[in-house]
Structure 1
Amino acid sequence: MTGSDALVPFGFTALESEIYVFLLGESPATGYRVAQGINKPAANTYKAIQTLQSKGAILVEEGSSRFCRAVPIEELMGRLQKDFEARRVQTVKALKSAGRPQEDERLYHLKSRDQILNRAREMLAEATSEALIQMPAFGVHAIEGAIEKAADRGIEVFVLTTESIIIEGAEVAVAEDPAGLLCVVIDGTQTLAGKISQDEESDALWTRYPTLAQIHHGALSAEITLANVSGLLAADEKRSRIQKAVDARRRLT
């Protein structure tokens, strides 16, 4: 990019940019002088000057001489920034009002570990009330940031994994799982289920089909409760704490 076309990225034509740059160094100047200075046809130059005036990039003297003067660079950049921000807000509003497409209840096959983990992160970002997660420890560590963000938003997060992990804001239960099973259920409306491995092939299905999501929700909430109760029994905990775990299971149904 050269100095003469510096305004092109901001929606100005090459000729408009060249005129503005010329006037920065030679203001005030008549349209005829500008056309001579940049070696462009006078008719094209006059038309571009009118456009620059309407865009607030130059000032044109009232009167027969019609002297032109470039506005200061800082003033022009400030105006362009305000215009861009206003258009950005309007565009976001228009796109949001366009409406969401009809919910897709198809079943999608995910065939890689990274694809599965990325889908789990996206699901957690969409959660509005509750997230149930069953996943080997390496997978939980991989999406730990997304889990914490969901918990920070007030989402109830329950995790069943293969190692004791502390995740702020989430309730974590531990159970052995040599098969590397995976299940993520969000709000009882979407589910991701399959198998995930660090070394072998990973394979999962994802859907927003609510009936299947609710079936997985019921099964996974029961597994989480059993893991919690088993842990309490192994630690010889009091009846009150075991009852609390059972009550938590009822909240999930």
Structure 2
Amino acid sequence: MKENILETLKNLHFTEYEAKAYLTLLQDSPLTGYAVAKNSGVPRSRIYEVLDNLTSRGDILVSLGNTPQYTPVPAKELIKNRRQKAEENFELAENSLAQFENSANDRENIWNIMGRSEILDKVKACISSSSTRILLEVWQEEYEVLEAELKQAAARGVNVTIIAYGEIVSDFANVYLHYMGDAITDEYGGRWIVISGDDSEVVAGIVSLGDDSRAAWTMHVGLVMPITEVIIHDLYLMEIMAKHRELLEESFGKNLIQLRRKFSIHPDFKKHYVD
């Protein structure tokens, strides 16, 4: 238990000696420097340097006199102070680094992302940075991972529109259930994800290969425009199928199978992107 607490204090930027001294004072105080060294195992040659560091940071208090004594700031107060300082540092960093935003959002590069979780993390970042509209093509498995971020986006006024593969139900997004549903997974041999944020950023890739999943992220207009428009044209198709499915399937077969076969280059009429 004590070792776990020491590790926790180290994560709060205590050195090992500082953590031992502070924990000793939590257990028994006030103490003289000599007593802290004796009870904590911190070398006597280092104890006053350690206590001075803790005092200057405000983690402990000292009563000056012929023999100074030390007492810790209560744990709750320590955590509150650390949290406040961290928030101040994050705010300072955000303001200081804002000047580099344009260089970071390089609109000429296309970046490769490997791994399903890494891809979904980038999709979450795209969702969080969107302020106007999110267009998303997604399977149910990945939607469940992204639902919280999508709901937060909708709550701040972002229009969220989803083309769903599988049974996706949402009370905050416009959901279009793909007319082929899960059957399309068999034809393509895997699941993909495509997102367009504010018509200015896209992430697109395969997410059903575990660590071998791969996607591209870019703000390059040469890809953002056609990928966004492909999603929009899929939405056109969802609307058309909803109103005229019977007529279209009379012309092109169930689920428009004749059209899909017409433009397939494989004898089995399946896609082989992930072979």
Q: Calculate the TM-score normalised by the size of structure 1.
A: 0.63
Pairs within 5 Å for 1:213-232? 213-232=224-243
Instruction: Provide the residue aligned with 2:165 in structure 1.
Output: 162
Percent of aligned positions with the same letter in both sequences? 14
| Aligned amino acid, residue 60 of structure 1 | L
User: Root-mean-square deviation (CA), in Å?
Assistant: 4.6
Asked if residue 133 in structure 1 is aligned to residue 144 in structure 2, the reply is: no
CA displacement, residues 94-127 of structure 1 (integer Å, 9 cap, x when unaligned): 2112213531331123454444334323322322
In structure 1, how many angstroms separate the alpha carbons of the residues matched to 2:69 and 2:90? 35
Asked if residue 57 in structure 1 is aligned to residue 61 in structure 2, the reply is: yes
Pairs within 5 Å for 1:94-173? 94-99=92-97, 100=101, 101-105=103-107, 106-173=109-176
In structure 2, how many angstroms separate the alpha carbons of the residues matched to 1:12 and 1:217? 51
Q: Could you list the runs of 5+ residues in structure 1 that have no partner in the other structure?
A: 237-253
In the TM superposition, residue 207 of structure 1 has moved relative to its aligned partner by 1.1
In the TM superposition, residue 216 of structure 1 has moved relative to its aligned partner by 1.9
| Aligned amino acid, residue 87 of structure 2 | V
| Aligned amino acid, residue 209 of structure 1 | H
Please tell me whether the aligned partners of residues 133 and 158 of structure 1 are also in contact (alpha carbons under 8 angstroms). Answer: yes
| Aligned amino acid, residue 57 of structure 1 | L
CA displacement, residues 186-209 of structure 1 (integer Å, 9 cap, x when unaligned): 11111123445479x754322121
Please tell me whether the aligned partners of residues 20 and 58 of structure 1 are also in contact (alpha carbons under 8 angstroms). Answer: no
Please tell me whether the aligned partners of residues 53 and 59 of structure 1 are also in contact (alpha carbons under 8 angstroms). Answer: no
In structure 1, how many angstroms separate the alpha carbons of the residues matched to 2:16 and 2:207? 54
Relative to structure 1, is the Cα distance of residues 121 and 81 closer, same or farther in structure 2, using a 3 angstrom cutoff?
Answer: closer
| Aligned amino acid, residue 88 of structure 1 | A
In structure 1, how many angstroms separate the alpha carbons of the residues matched to 2:19 and 2:207? 58
Relative to structure 1, is the Cα distance of residues 47 and 140 closer, same or farther in structure 2, using a 3 angstrom cutoff?
Answer: closer
In structure 2, how many angstroms separate the alpha carbons of the residues matched to 1:113 and 1:131? 20
Q: Could you list the runs of 5+ residues in structure 2 that have no partner in the other structure?
A: 248-275
CA displacement, residues 78-101 of structure 1 (integer Å, 9 cap, x when unaligned): 654454244223311221122135
Whose radius of gyration is greater, 1 or 2?
Answer: 1
Instruction: Provide the residue aligned with 2:270 in structure 1.
Output: none
CA displacement, residues 11-67 of structure 1 (integer Å, 9 cap, x when unaligned): 478499769958x979687x8x879989x9999777777767665522113xxxx24
Please tell me whether the aligned partners of residues 28 and 69 of structure 1 are also in contact (alpha carbons under 8 angstroms). Answer: yes
- How many residues of Structure 1 are paired with residues of Structure 2 in the alignment? 225
In the TM superposition, residue 131 of structure 1 has moved relative to its aligned partner by 0.9
Q: Give the secondary-structure state (helix, strand or coil) at the position aligned to 2:104.
A: coil
Relative to structure 1, is the Cα distance of residues 215 and 96 closer, same or farther in structure 2, using a 3 angstrom cutoff?
Answer: same
Relative to structure 1, is the Cα distance of residues 108 and 234 closer, same or farther in structure 2, using a 3 angstrom cutoff?
Answer: same
Please tell me whether the aligned partners of residues 18 and 51 of structure 2 are also in contact (alpha carbons under 8 angstroms). Answer: no
In the TM superposition, residue 166 of structure 1 has moved relative to its aligned partner by 1.4
Hey, which bits of structure 1, 4+ residues long, moved more than 6 A?
24-29, 33-38, 40-53
